Structures are given as C-alpha cells and as structure tokens.
Amino acid sequence: MASFVVSLWQSIFEPGTTPQLLIATHLSFTALIATLIWLIYATNGNIHFYILLTIASLLWITVIWFIQELKSVQLKSNEELGIPNINTNTDDEKKPEATTTARKSTNGKTKSRKV
C-alpha cells in the first residue's frame, strides 16, 4: 500500500496518465457512487441524491473519455515543441548592484541611502 501511495505521488509530476493515477481515479469515483447510492437508500429516495448520482456518473464517464483521448494523443516534450528551456538561476548572470540615491530631508541636509 505504501508503494502505491509513493508511486501515485510521483505520477502527479509526470505528463500523461499512469496506472496508479487511473486506479486512484476509479477507486475515488467508485467510493463516491457507492456513498450516493447508500444515501439514496438511507433517505428513502431523496431526489437531490438522485441528481447528485447522475452528475457524478456523467463526470466519471467524461473523465474516462478524457483519459482515452490522452492515450490516443502522443504527448510531446518542450524541446519537440520548440519551446526554449528558460533557466533563470544561472551563476554567470550578474546581479544588479545597489545604487546610491540622494534625497533632501526636511531639515535641509542631504541624506543618501542604498537602494
């Protein structure tokens, strides 16, 4: 179980879908549908829970469809798309130096400070 959770956490940072993510998605929707069915039974058929069950079922179907579409499309990396790799933390860049500005105080004296 711990390895599943670790691999699920790592799959969040990978493009596309992974088997762990699919399992977690289907388990979550199964638990939601089961809870709504139980609430329909416990409330003697409250219409609100029927509507929520319909919405949850349609959402699950839509998520399944979207996952199938992701599988059919080949994902490309940034290099393949021609997007340059922007690395702003290089050591050879010069940092701006502090500049000294002068300002006049209320008593007529000039004060300087580093900005």
In whole angstroms, give the CA distance from residue 47 to residue 35. 15
The per-residue pLDDT for 46 is 95
Count of domains for the chain: 1
Domain contains 39: yes
Domain contains 91: no
Among 110, 111, 29, 102, which Cα is nearest to 63's? Answer: 29
Whole-model pTM over 0.75: no
Residue range(s) defining the domain that contains residue 58: 18-72
Helix, coil or strand: residue 68? helix
The per-residue pLDDT for 5 is 85
The per-residue pLDDT for 11 is 83
In whole angstroms, give the CA distance from residue 100 to residue 112. 6
Domain contains 80: no
Domain contains 61: yes
Within a 10 A sphere around the Cβ of 36, how many other Cβ atoms? 19
The per-residue pLDDT for 104 is 61
Between residues 37 and 74, which one has the greater pLDDT? 37
- For 50-105, what is each residue's pLDDT tens digit? 999 999 999 999 999 998 888 887 766 667 777 777 765 655 555 556 566 666 66
Domain contains 38: yes
The per-residue pLDDT for 75 is 67
Domain contains 57: yes
The per-residue pLDDT for 91 is 57
